[in-house]
Structure 1
Amino acid sequence: MASYMDEPDAGKRILGRCDELGRISEPGEGVTRLYLTPQHRTAAETLVRWMGEAGMDAHIDEVGNVVGRYHSQAGGGPYLITGSHMDSVINAGRYDGPLGVITSLDCVAALNARGKRLPFGIEVVAFGDEEGTRFRTTLAGSRAITGQYGDDLLNAKDDTGLTLRDALSAFGLDPARIPEAARDPNDVIGYVELHIEQGPVLQAKNLPVGVVTAISGQTRAMVQVKGSANHAGTVPMGMRKDPLLAASEIALAVERIASSHDNTVGTVGFIKAEPGLINVIPGSVSFSIDLRSQKDEVRKAAFAEVEKAVQEIASKRGVTATVEVILDLKSCPCAPDFVSRLQAAATSTGSEPILLPSGAGHDGMAMSQLSGIGMIFVRCKDGISHSPEESVTAGDVAAGASTLLHFIENFQGNR
């Protein structure tokens, strides 16, 4: 193919590039592309090249985000920011994050092919770290752009004990220059992101796209339970101080408490018992809690119940437990005018959008500190995400791309 735009179908163009980007991964099933790794570097350089082909000035910024700017008719900003993230969880699919990046890039490529510039600039960002898989951080890329990349991130460590600060240096970046990644709020007129739904609603409604009303708030915590390690064959059941059994009971309490509150979900997604031997009662167990709700007051009340249950269960079982909150994000409503404009864009391009919330977190939660935000969801098969089984169709992707491009071309430019 002589040119990317020689393929007339936007859905096919975008999926082709998602497939190409998906091959940049650690070996193994699915896609594993973590922050500040060689795979991150290769993907970032690929995106810089693609952005340049689409008429953008592109570079890798001070924290590893890829930034491409398609300037306004006057040659600069202010800028409407769009994009998504390029990092993944372990054994991920090809579309969570990259679909939004490539669709945004495609919209600019389409404008550039027509020689069209707008009264404002368009900035496409591929955020380097949204998932937080490597350092157990989250939204690091977008937090840098909003000026919130502090020591809490820089001092985070990966499983090898390497700090994020040192990983930035190894990647070829200077941690002292991170403030240069931050945007002037006066130079940003909005943020819009396209993303797979990561849920089953659009499929159930037989609709290709939806418009997001709000992103649920979330609390993440690490719990450490300590008991007494001992021989598995010699300690009677009634005399044990088993932290793993306490942790199991706490996990069931998380399920019970989350289920008792409307629009609230709770997950224990990580657990580690030590020393981790088949014939030894564990002495220590650490595990995660992820609690989310559309309403902050509900989430906070539910988490307070979880903390109470942790201590009650620990006391009953003769162990000790500590709870450390590692993330507390408020729910984030999308700007009402963005919601209405996205609805109009979808309708104008032949879709019948529904309004729905996002239970997953997104970079928009950080970007809302700069401007109003909006989100488009694209249907994904069976609502499966964070898995190699992620699947979208070219037709649905084309519908999402048409909605995003119509929104961009008709954006009014007011913050």
Structure 2
Amino acid sequence: MTVAHLSRARTAARVIERCRQIAALTEVPGETTRLFLSPPARRVHTLVTEWMQAASMSVRIDAAGNLRGVLPGPTAHAPRLILGSHLDTVPNAGAFDGVLGVVLGIAVAEELRGQSLPFAIEVIGFSEEEGVRFSTPFIGSLAVIGKLDAEALARTDRNGVTIAEAIRIFGLNLSDLPNAQLAASSFAYLELHIEQGPLLESEGLPLGIVEAIAGQTRMSFVFEGRANHAGTTPMHLRRDALAAAAQWITAVEVYANEHDGLVATVGRIDAQPGAGNVVAARVTASLDVRHASDNARTAAVRALVSAAELAAAKRGVTLSTQTHLEQSAVPMDPHLTRLLESAAKKSNTPTRKMPSGAGHDAMIVAQRLPAAMLFLRSPGGISHHPDETVLPGDVEAALNTAIEFLSLLRDDKTIPKDDHA
């Protein structure tokens, strides 16, 4: 083992340990739960600030609660590369979702400090991505692209506290929100993140290169039949809303299995009146459809609505639907993606190109900057769960690939020039 390899292996072990240190900072003893601007977020800021400063970074917390460390470039106006991910969690989370990307970003800065780079590096720990506290995601990344608007700031949590009030309670100045926007010199964004799924593990691969973040459609379906006695109502005279929903749910699974790259999920169902001896009168069910192609996703939604209509009509049941989310797919920047692929090859790391089925801050930042994403294998395909973990060798491979990516970026002719140099 070379000295350089041994050093990177030690860095990878330190990255994992730091993620576990952050996981211990929680609202709920015995689990990792850390929502937007909750008290443990302040302790995370203190801890991560220490690591950033030790890496020779200047540190600030912006008005949306994003923690930001900058490793300066050759001049104050040098082009700026952004590395980032989020520091909040879902309830009872694992230690690596989001957090790993922030800690790896700091590790990259540690490795490259003192080297002659033509650009600055800014590592952002976004304050919110999961959408748990206020039932709306991406508060942190929306702020950095200037799209955290008045409507969003007025959203309330279960205690009636608005996002604007939460920002003030945390001790931040809402009038400084414009200063949360990315520096005008920012030219690219890279996010390192666990896959949160089983694909890479199933193929024995440590890393994946994200080509696009899948678009999402989220809907609710209401099947309306008629309640009646389970013992006295003949089968052919029933208007069974639950039987109609069950036929449709099976059709959803069959359709998704027949179309590559599509995932479709009925994750919630509520049957009323909900008694074992009563034919169900009303069923409400959710539908979540995702694909990296918007055309494929919208075609799937049309087909699945038609399947629901057929299932309802067969049983004399009425159907109504409501769309709650229509999120277009977000392609990653082709040039940065090619550089990331080359960086993985230079670091002798096998990868595959893949879509992301989950949403990430990269899909928001991509509205402002060219963006790329690198996935790390999730052992067991587990995420949003205390058993979520990473392999030390995969963390080392991600670190090697990220540093090779920055090396390629240093010589890339597409980087904007520093007019003040």
TM-score by length of 1: 0.84
Q: Tell me how far apart the structure 2 counterparts of residues 232 and 174 of structure 1 sit (CA, whole Å).
A: 61
1:217: how far off? 1.6
SS at match of 2:323: strand
Q: Tell me how far apart the structure 2 counterparts of residues 370 and 153 of structure 1 sit (CA, whole Å).
A: 19
Q: Tell me how far apart the structure 1 counterparts of residues 104 and 156 of structure 2 sit (CA, whole Å).
A: 32
Please state if 1:42 is matched with 2:43.
Answer: yes
Q: Tell me how far apart the structure 2 counterparts of residues 149 and 143 of structure 1 sit (CA, whole Å).
A: 5
Give the share of equivalent positions with the same residue, in percent.
36
Task: Write the letter of the residue equivalent to 1:46.
Answer: L
SS at match of 1:81: strand
Q: Is the 8 A contact 1:30 1:387 kept in 2?
A: no
SS at match of 1:220: strand
Once the two structures are overlaid, the 10-residue window that deviates more, 405-414 or 394-403, is 405-414
Q: Tell me how far apart the structure 1 counterparts of residues 82 and 103 of structure 2 sit (CA, whole Å).
A: 14
Unaligned runs of 5+ in 1: 1-5
Q: Is the 8 A contact 2:79 2:119 kept in 1?
A: yes
CA shift in 2, pair 1:279/1:353, >3 Å = same
Q: Tell me how far apart the structure 2 counterparts of residues 281 and 156 of structure 1 sit (CA, whole Å).
A: 39
Q: Is the 8 A contact 1:76 1:120 kept in 2?
A: no
1:98: how far off? 0.8
CA shift in 2, pair 1:68/1:270, >3 Å = farther
Q: Tell me how far apart the structure 1 counterparts of residues 120 and 141 of structure 2 sit (CA, whole Å).
A: 19
1:356 is matched with which residue: 354, 357, 362? 354
Q: Is the 8 A contact 1:314 1:321 kept in 2?
A: no
CA shift in 2, pair 1:248/1:51, >3 Å = farther
Q: Tell me how far apart the structure 2 counterparts of residues 275 and 164 of structure 1 sit (CA, whole Å).
A: 37
1:95-144 per-residue CA deviation (whole Å, 9 max, x = no partner) reads 111111100011112223xx235211111111122221232322232122
Q: Is the 8 A contact 2:35 2:90 kept in 1?
A: yes
Task: Write the letter of the residue equivalent to 1:91.
Answer: N
Other-structure match for 1:404: 402
Other-structure match for 2:4: none
SS at match of 2:46: helix
1:349-382 per-residue CA deviation (whole Å, 9 max, x = no partner) reads 2323332222222211111112211121212212
SS at match of 2:35: coil
Task: Write the letter of the residue equivalent to 1:221.
Answer: M
TM-score by length of 2: 0.83
Please state if 1:220 is matched with 2:221.
Answer: no
Other-structure match for 1:140: 139
Other-structure match for 1:171: 170
Other-structure match for 1:323: 322
RMSD: 3.3
Q: Tell me how far apart the structure 1 counterparts of residues 158 and 284 of structure 2 sit (CA, whole Å).
A: 14
Please state if 1:189 is matched with 2:190.
Answer: no
Q: Is the 8 A contact 2:231 2:277 kept in 1?
A: no
1:213: how far off? 2.0
Instruction: Write out aligned runs for 1:311-350 (5 A).
Output: 316=315, 318=317, 321-326=320-325, 328-350=326-348
SS at match of 1:410: helix
Task: Write the letter of the residue equivalent to 2:141.
Answer: S
Q: Tell me how far apart the structure 2 counterparts of residues 235 and 163 of structure 1 sit (CA, whole Å).
A: 52
Task: Write the letter of the residue equivalent to 2:105.
Answer: S
Task: Write the letter of the residue equivalent to 1:400.
Answer: A
Instruction: Write out aligned runs for 1:108-257 (5 A).
Output: 108-112=109-113, 115-175=114-174, 177-183=176-182, 186-223=184-221, 248=246, 250-257=248-255
How many residues are matched?
A: 406
1:207-259 per-residue CA deviation (whole Å, 9 max, x = no partner) reads 3223222222222234566778x898899587887766665555444334433
Other-structure match for 1:92: 93
Q: Is the 8 A contact 2:214 2:355 kept in 1?
A: yes
Once the two structures are overlaid, the 10-residue window that deviates more, 305-314 or 264-273, is 305-314
SS at match of 1:32: coil
Q: Tell me how far apart the structure 2 counterparts of residues 28 and 245 of structure 1 sit (CA, whole Å).
A: 43
Q: Tell me how far apart the structure 2 counterparts of residues 247 and 28 of structure 1 sit (CA, whole Å).
A: 40
Q: Tell me how far apart the structure 2 counterparts of residues 39 and 235 of structure 1 sit (CA, whole Å).
A: 58
Q: Is the 8 A contact 2:27 2:38 kept in 1?
A: no
Once the two structures are overlaid, the 10-residue window that deviates more, 214-223 or 175-184, is 175-184
Unaligned runs of 5+ in 2: 1-6, 417-421
Task: Write the letter of the residue equivalent to 1:61.
Answer: D
Other-structure match for 1:17: 18
SS at match of 2:134: coil
